[in-house]
A and B are shown apart, each in its own frame.
Chain A
Amino acid sequence: MKRRDFLKYLGSGIVGTGVGLAFGKVTKPPGAKLIPYLIPPEDVIPGVATWYASLCTQCSAGCGILVKVMEGRAKKIEGNPLHPVNKGRLCARGNAALQALYNPDRIKGPMKRTGERGSGKYKEISWNEAVSILGRNLSELDKNGATEGLYVLTSTLRGHLNTLIREFMSSYGSPNYMQYELFQHRNLIYANRVSMGLDAIPHYDIANTRYLLSFGADFSSTWLSPVNLSHGYGEMRQGGARRRGVLVQVEPRLSLTGANADEWVPVRPGTEGVLALSIAHEIVAGGYYKGADASSWKELLSGFSPEHAARVTEVDAGRIHHIAKEFVKTRPSLAIGGDNLSAYRDGLSCLVAVNILNHLAGNIGRKGGVVPNPAGLLKGRTGTELRKDRITALAKSALEGDVKTLIVYNTNPVFTTPAGVKLERALRNVPFIASLSSFMDETTAMADLILPSHTSLEDWGDDFAEPSTGVRVATLMQPAVSPVFDTRGAGDIFISLAKALGGKVGERLNYKGFPEYLKESWRKIYANNKEVAAGALTFDGFWNRLLEHGGWWQTEEPRHKPRSVSVRRVKAHIPTSPSEFEGDEGRYPLYLVTYPHAGYLDGRGANLPWLQEMPDPMTAVVWGSWVEINPKTARKLGIKQGDLVTVESPYGGIDLPAFLYEGIRPDTVAVPIGQGHRLYGRYAEKRGVNPIEILPVAEDKRSGELALNSTRVRLERKGADGKLVKMGVRTEELGRGIVQTITPEEFERIAGKEEA
């Protein structure tokens, strides 16, 4: 090798090493930073979790939660073990509340509309400006003497935020404070009122019942208070030495609860009321009912012989008789009704029929039956307002120009009302809409002003769970983390609005903020209520314990006060014939059953990726919607699993993939509610379809509730690829003994040996 060459190589070697060294120095990640606290928060140890007791607001059950916080960030939500409603348990939606807090699609600060309404063009403004804009608007209304033109629409609020808004409205001078949610269980309250004179939802003591007859109530996934009732279910099944409870589910589409039932009664849609009364008929006819008014019951129920009911409901007369016998013979027993049942046009009547069953079997006011809750700590909304709080009424007022200003909080009526209500058009007619939503949903997109509110993990609040568990329960909500974005609590917004308005409203709501209002209100409860105050010397001590425990609740066993249902009361409310359905039977041969999805409920959970990727409990479908069709029907129509199918009602059609499902009647199809958002963030947008769009504007004849199960549909195959994505390929066990079972008889034999 030549010397020159050698030098060249040597040179390149040296340059290479040098560059490598330098590159290594440069590219090495800069040392991580150690950021100290400026002032250490109390009781926070970095690396060790702090737990805050709070309230879950993902549905209206009112479960108590513990939020795990590390270094100022919420990490995990768990059930509060002391809380009587959920007993330390938590459902999927509650777990996913974290993703509402940290959702990337949250509105990051107050905004003013700049483009046309619905165009989605907004400008960021400051909070002062935002509040003053709304304040000016309201002052103007006040000046014009049109204070009644202010409408406030919220979700079902039961705590002091409700009281605050109520006070705000009354001092401002508007009676138009409305609460709307798709699943409000108002039929249930109304039915209890007309049948038992109970203006509330009672506690259904599933845990202690031995025979549970459920009419459509899917308490395992969404109905009322799913965690509480599921816990009860677990207790009922294997709660120790007691006899294992039996569950009979009456519904046209096998829900998650139905899947766990010992017996499924696939009744014809709309005839559940008749079936219930027929069972009642058998109870009375069999002489099992010993009440003094047995003969008048007999008379009332005379038209509901099993033979007659069998023709209508397509359930064998023998089976009806058998259920009736089991229902009265097994002690204690319990009948519940909900979801499907309350969503018919005579849903209220059907629920009345269920109450009649409970009465005839003597289940009301006893352990393992219907346990009425004691009066709450707070006077909340009463049943008398039921008919007024209708979304259709709001739409009508808006169309007529009565609504001058609308404030919407925590509810998305544009998404959850049938297209026939024309709510969107009505809202266009409202001169000024302010939304307090933290998410750009379909209703918020109509707003002129957006004042994003906190999510439940950043806010103060409280709740008085209904149904409770036969005891008085109050749950306190406290911020677990400081606000992620520039948002404010809904209560704070109303208080600052009151300040901006001044005058009477300002006087009435003269508080520093919502936390102060909340604390003062609780001071009143503490002062007025001996039971609450018991065991605490001072209010501050009580308040601290409240924050520590996450609320206050009675600890003693519920007292059981029997109540009765009288013939006189229910006479006008019992279902006489099957529920009515829109659509001609020839043209639209199939019943449509819509039901809340276990994750999204009425659509509010659809923006949480955990829930989107959570397989649906029954179908295991993820990231989309589907229509459940019986394989027999599908075969007739040439539809295969996953095909794109048009579901057409007299009010419109939707395209969605088919899911062949043995657990549905051949004359019925079912579509879950919750998907099909036009807006609502990256995880929810343009995913699946919203079946509410094709529903008629049908209301319960008696209560005025929207009837979701009120139309017939027809199916048409549209194409091959419906893009159905589901977990799990095969659902046959192929004799591999994967889920092993034993028969009830065998279980009875070994039950004595089992240790628990």
Chain B
Amino acid sequence: MANKITYREINQDIIGFMTNTGIWYYIVLGFMALGALALFFAPWAYQIYTGQGVTGLNVPIFWGVYLVNFVFWVGVAHAGTLISAMLFITKTPWRRSIARGAETMTFFALILVTLFIFIHMGRPWNFYWSFPYPNQRLLWTNFQSPLMFDVFAIGTYFTSSAIFLYFGMIPDLAALKHHTTGWRKWLYTTLSLGWRGTDRQWHVQGKATMFFSSFIMPLVVSVHSIVSWDFALSVVPGYSKTIFAPYFVTGALLSGFAGVVLMLTLLRWFFPFVRKYVTEYHYDSIGKMILLLSLVWSYCTIMEILTGLYANTSEEMESLKYKILTDPYMQLFALMMFSNTILPLVLMIKKVRITPVIMFFICIFVMVGMWLERYLIIPNALSRKFLPWMWYDYFPSWVELSITAGAFMFFIAMFMASIKIFPVFSLFELKEDAGIPMEKPHGEG
């Protein structure tokens, strides 16, 4: 580890990054924000105004790219929880410098998840009907519905990860208020809730983090399991699989970690100071994690296909045939298997794991592969349901594709704006990593 880093250096690095922003940063941020507006919000407004008919959805493919994106972004959100909660409890050392970034990603990914639920709805202005609130009309929600599970799962996940993110940030915000002026100082002072860094406060903070970690930990498994039940609880061939819960969770973590790698690598490239905190050691550890997850994921994929083959009913076989042997899904399936199963195998080589460039590209493939996995499940299974007369193919319309692309830009824009306001690395945890300093630092810790 970089033992030689001093507290002052850490403070200077992070605060400097946050306060000194180059023109290119603004240009890129502006571009992304405008892109989000033009590609994400404008088509969505158009869709709300005109109707869901602007999508490529049809009978019987009622769930298309929006649901793919929904599941995908839930997946991206997953690494945050895993890293901050599970790895915190297991006291895994390499989580410290990457946890904050991953948690931030989680937060913004969950915003997109929520948005995609609304985008997907036929009458989004009535979204609040899906919350169980007492009303004069004696209406209630259907707790039997997997979608209702979703409302709770995503709601809980969103709340708890937001709290977790904020809670972990309080010491940092307190530190930042001493080094900033103007609105930032006002903001940090307000948000740090009078943190003074007393022993008691540290003690409570540690306890609370531990508590929240334990609280969130089941969510790592449950959220995506529940998302998978949206599909698994139906009778549709290609949806109705018992393996879906672990399959989806593994896939989610895989894409989550890939997302973290992409984020970290980009930061490393554009902001050289990051290289001090995110080192080969981190890449190595995440690489191992991705390799492990990829293997589990591959097992699930193969099992999913094998159970279908074993059932050997016309429904299952046609569903599989459509996914694996039909143009263009054959090629997409091959690409998915290459990206998620074959390519990650090279992570067995340490040299590969510690080379950020290679990791970056592998992770891009993993992301693409994971998106495809959802695509090959969600609209594809619906294309081959029970009555062959109603079989139909689906291709997303420009609105869906635009919103999909826009979502990425919106995510990047939110992330870029956020890391200029809130520290993307946990100051105090970096300092913990740096070890007890010999000399008294200038800043407060």
Contact = CB atoms under 8 A, between A and B. Distances in A.
B314 A736 contact: yes
A729 B388 contact: yes
Contacts of B387: 736, 738
B395 to A, nearest CB: 15
Contacts of B31: none
B314 A729 contact: no
A735 B314 contact: yes
9 contacts: A727-B389, A728-B390, A729-B389, A729-B392, A730-B388, A730-B389, A734-B314, A736-B314, A738-B387
A734 B314 CA distance: 7
A738 B390 CA distance: 13
Nearest to B386: A736
Interface string A722-756: 00000111111111101000000000000000000
B391 A729 contact: yes
Interface in B336-394: 386-392
Interface residues on A, range: 10 to 19
A746 B389 CA distance: 28
Contacts of B318: 734
Contact of B391 (A730, A735, A738): A730
B315 interface: yes
A728 B390 CA distance: 5
A370 B314 CA distance: 48
Contacts, number: 26
B380 to A, nearest CB: 15
Contacts of B386: 736
A731 B389 contact: yes
B389 A728 contact: yes
Given A729-B391, A732-B388, A736-B314, 13 more contacts: A727-B389, A728-B389, A728-B390, A729-B388, A729-B390, A729-B392, A730-B388, A730-B389, A730-B391, A731-B388, A734-B314, A735-B314, A736-B386
The 4 closest A-B pairs by CB, nearest first: A730-B388, A728-B389, A729-B391, A734-B314
Contacts of B392: 729
Contact of B315 (A728, A732, A733, A736): A736
A738 B34 CA distance: 52
Contacts of A727: 389
Interface string B303-324: 0000000000011001000000
Contacts of A733: 388
A648 to B, nearest CB: 33
Contacts of B315: 736
A79 B420 CA distance: 74
B314, B318, B386, B391 pick with most chain A CB within 10 angstroms? B314
Contacts of B389: 727-731
Nearest to A735: B314
Contacts of A731: 388-389
A734 B315 CA distance: 9
A736 B314 CA distance: 7
A732 B387 CA distance: 9
A616 to B, nearest CB: 14
Contacts of A738: 387-388
Contacts of A732: 388
Nearest to A620: B389
B215 to A, nearest CB: 40
Contacts of B390: 728-729
Contacts of B388: 729-734, 736, 738
A727 B388 CA distance: 12
Nearest to B315: A736
Contacts of A734: 314, 318, 388
Interface in B383-441: 386-392
A460 B315 CA distance: 56
Contacts of B314: 734-736
B314, B387, B389, B390 pick with most chain A CB within 10 angstroms? B389
A736 B385 CA distance: 11
B381 to A, nearest CB: 16
Contacts of A728: 389-390
B169 to A, nearest CB: 28
A730 B387 CA distance: 9
Nearest to A734: B314
Contacts of B391: 729-730
Nearest to B317: A734
A732 B314 CA distance: 11
A459 B315 CA distance: 55
Nearest to A738: B387
B403 to A, nearest CB: 27
A727 B386 CA distance: 16
A730 B386 CA distance: 12
A736 B318 CA distance: 11
Nearest to B314: A734
Nearest to A736: B314
Contacts of A735: 314
A734 B389 CA distance: 11
Contacts of A730: 388-389, 391
A408 B351 CA distance: 90
A713 B176 CA distance: 87
A729 B387 CA distance: 10
Interface string A284-322: 000000000000000000000000000000000000000
A228 to B, nearest CB: 30
Nearest to B313: A736
Contacts of A729: 388-392
B391 to A, nearest CB: 4
A125 to B, nearest CB: 42
Interface in A677-736: 727-736
A733 B386 CA distance: 10
Nearest to B388: A730
A198 B387 CA distance: 50
A734 B385 CA distance: 12
Nearest to B383: A729
A738 B389 CA distance: 10
Interface in B242-300: none
Contacts of A736: 314-315, 386-388
A736 B387 CA distance: 8
A468 B387 CA distance: 41
A179 B78 CA distance: 78
B60 to A, nearest CB: 11
A734 B388 CA distance: 8
A10 to B, nearest CB: 24
A729 B388 CA distance: 7
A194 to B, nearest CB: 46
